[in-house]
Amino acid sequence: MTMVVRPVAEADRDLVAGLITSAWGTTVMAAHGELYDAADQPGLLALADGDPAGVLTYRRDGDAWEITTLQALRPGVGAGTALLDAIAVAASGAGARRIWLITTNDNTHALRFYQRRGYDLVAVHRDAVTRARQALKPEIPLEDDGIPIRHELELELLLR
């Protein structure tokens, strides 16, 4: 299998919106006290033998790039890792100091995935999801896999 990662093109926008919606139910995300549309952000698309295998969206904030969504469509084929590698190369080439992201306290799979790839847990934003559910996005689930969803966990990868 051949894995290729390339920037999301304008012609890919409907595909990206569909992929994000199929994974999250919407393209509108809530994190660190704000709502944003992940489908409107720059992104990377992973293709396995020409077929979509994963998507990553991000936003730039000075010398820090935030990963806003990461979705592997076919877990276990390396799309997520390829996307993380590609964003690190792009961010480093643009002079970024770090890449960071938010996940939630219930997402143990993501915590393992990111930590195995060099990302460090740097902050716990207690009850941030609870506040977002109350003020911004009431449809955020209350729990997943029996774990109450309450906190945002911030992970980062230092590039320099």
Write down the pLDDT at residue 120: 98
Per-residue pLDDT tens over the stretch 91-109 = 999 999 999 999 999 999 9
Residue 75 is predicted with a pLDDT of 82
- Specify the pairing of strand 152-158 against strand 120-125: antiparallel
Rounded to whole angstroms, the Cα distance separating 10 from 140 reads 29
* Torsion 23-58-146-25 (CA) sign: negative
pLDDT-based confidence at 86, cuts 50/70/90? very high
Reported confidence tier of residue 111, pLDDT bands at 50, 70, 90: very high
How far apart (Å, rounded) are the C-alpha atoms in residues 129 and 125? 9
Tell me the domains of the chain and their CATH numbers. Answer: 3-158 (3.40.630.30)
Q: What is the pLDDT of residues 6-41, one digit of tens each?
A: 999 999 999 999 999 999 899 999 998 899 999 999
